[in-house]
Copies of this chain bind each other. A is one copy, B any other.
Amino acid sequence: MDLENTQSQMRKGVLEYCILCIIGKSECYASDIIDQMKEAKLIVVEGTLYPLLTRLKNAGLLNYKWEESKSGPPRKYYSLTDEGKSFLQALSGTWGELSEAVTSITSGK
């Protein structure tokens, strides 16, 4: 049993919530998301992020637009659809419930 692996498993599902949250605050592109998550000490890597963004787009939760960048290649800026906003709401509840369940179990009440 590998601690790092369990950490990775714990991230499953949570990353989706966090990413939707970041995009819900303001339009951003992949590196923005990586930076903001790194700042919060939640590391997400490209191989995870890009397919996840694609899945969310395909599920109708995100829109994107291409924007020229000041220096470097063009960027894909993402924003939430209405559906994305309400899904994020639901995920917030879900996380809250999970969090509380874990607290309940681990505190022994």
- Interface, chain A (partner B; CB < 8 A): 1, 3, 6-14, 16-18, 21-22, 25, 36-37, 40-42, 55-56, 59-61, 87, 90-92, 94-95, 97-102, 104-106, 108
What is the CA–CA distance of A91 and B56 in the complex, to the nearest angstrom? 30
> Is the CB–CB distance between A101 and B42 below 8 Å?
yes
Residues from chain B with a CB closer than 8 A to the CB of A56 are: 1
Task: Point out the residue from B3, B92, B100 that lies within 8 Å of A91, measured CB to CB.
Answer: B3
> Is the CB–CB distance between B37 and A105 below 8 Å?
yes
Specify the main secondary structure of chain A where it touches its partner. Answer: helix
> Is the CB–CB distance between A6 and B16 below 8 Å?
yes
> Is the CB–CB distance between B14 and A94 below 8 Å?
no
Task: Point out the residue from B1, B14, B90 that lies within 8 Å of A55, measured CB to CB.
Answer: B1
Given A1-B87, A12-B13, also A6-B94 (CB < 8 A): yes
* Nearest CB of B to A35, in Å: 12
Residues from chain B with a CB closer than 8 A to the CB of A9 are: 12-13, 16
Q: Assuming A6-B13, A95-B102, what are 19 further A-B pairs, CB within 8 angstroms? A: A1-B60, A3-B90, A3-B91, A6-B17, A6-B91, A7-B13, A10-B13, A10-B14, A10-B94, A10-B98, A12-B12, A14-B98, A17-B106, A21-B106, A37-B105, A40-B104, A40-B105, A42-B98, A42-B101
